[in-house]
Amino acid sequence: MGEVFLDALKDSLIVLAFLVPVNIIIALIEPRLAGKIKLKGKAAPLVGVAVGLFPQCGFSVVATDLYQKRHITVGTLLGVYLATSDEALPIFLSAGEKALDILPILAFKFAIGLIVG
């Protein structure tokens, strides 16, 4: 039982050692870039949906923050939400022979996100 706790603690410390510096860097950079990021216009949903296809839930959180600060439109926000890839993508990619099965799903998510955006 103690071995499980120690492994979990070790893994948590490794992740924490990575996340704390990243969050500090983001906190230092964001105020300088906040006024410069404006993603509006006809190409905005295309950029948002393309970024949303990457397998990270953080993109939808960033898009929500950008929308709250009025840097992106509601259409771009919805496009990002619809295109955001979830945990299924890394699972498909980890199974070598099934990796290509994800392409039609990504194409569908891209199209729907772009149409709505």
The pLDDT tens digits for 42-64 are 777 767 777 777 666 667 777 78
* HEC letters along 45-103: HHHHHHHHCCCCCHHHHHHHHHHHCCCECHHHHHHHHHHCCCCHHHHHHHCHHHHHHHH
Domain boundaries, the chain: 1-33, 38-116
Q: What is the DSSP letter of 57?
A: T
SS3 76: helix
The pLDDT tens digits for 55-96 are 666 677 777 877 887 878 888 888 877 777 666 676 666 666
